[in-house]
Amino acid sequence: MIRSFLPLRPPAARFRSLPVLALSVLTLAGCGTAGDTGPRFSCPRVVLVDDADRLTRFADQGRDLTDVDFEAEIMQLAGSCGEDDGVIDVDLQIRIVASRGPADDDRRAPFAYFVAITDADERILARESFETAIEFPGNATRSGILERVAHRIPLPEGETGADYAIYVGFELSREEFDYNRRRR
């Protein structure tokens, strides 16, 4: 499924800062034409947010291994970008894999993930949540999906894609986030 959102950046907008909880896992390559001495533009960094890269969802109130409904993990980020008339178009691919837990009774792992775009000062310029689910057909105990998210980033004069970052992670409750932190 291809999803898209258009981040809008007013010239003097102020946005909430994103905490520095991330490790860079991929930088989309800059592009140029033959004979160029360097790239004409740079693509944004793509960052998988630490402790939001995996999700353990429990059934009911239990926290024992037998209470696990499913576990999911963002396994890979990939993508490409191109520039057209001061706008960078990014096509981001997010591979997510899930495993059924002992408490799963509907052969389905529903969850949400987010994609956020920040500027060089780590101000959030756009953030969107996407709900999806991984189905476990037949006797499968592990399954995965590939999500595609398209971004359009308008570039103010003098900026390049290197001035931006794209952050990806699961939407977690405080309890799920704390669980991930404890499992490090």
CA angle 38/90/73 to nearest 5° reads: 115
pLDDT of residue 99: 98
Question: Per-residue confidence at 25, pLDDT binned at 50, 70, 90?
Answer: very low
Strand order in the sheet with 87-100: 2-5, 142-154, 87-100, 68-84, 54-58
Q: What residue spans define the domains of the chain?
A: 2-8+15-173
Q: Give pLDDT tens digits for 112-157.
A: 999 999 999 999 999 999 999 999 999 999 999 999 999 999 999 8
Least confident of 5-9, 20-24, 132-136, 164-168: 20-24
pLDDT of residue 63: 84
- Output the six-digit token pair for 106: 């509907």
Gap between the Cα atoms of 22 and 115, Å rounded: 13
C-beta of residue 131 within 8 angstroms of C-beta of residue 4: no
- Which neighbouring-strand residues pair with 81? 90
Gap between the Cα atoms of 107 and 69, Å rounded: 9
CA angle 156/159/164 to nearest 5° reads: 100
- Output the six-digit token pair for 77: 């980020």
C-beta of residue 184 within 8 angstroms of C-beta of residue 148: no
Mean pLDDT over each residue of the chain, to the nearest integer: 82
19 pLDDT above the threshold of 70 = no
SS3 of the chain: helix, strand, coil, percent, to 5: 10, 55, 40
Gap between the Cα atoms of 151 and 57, Å rounded: 29
Gap between the Cα atoms of 155 and 87, Å rounded: 6
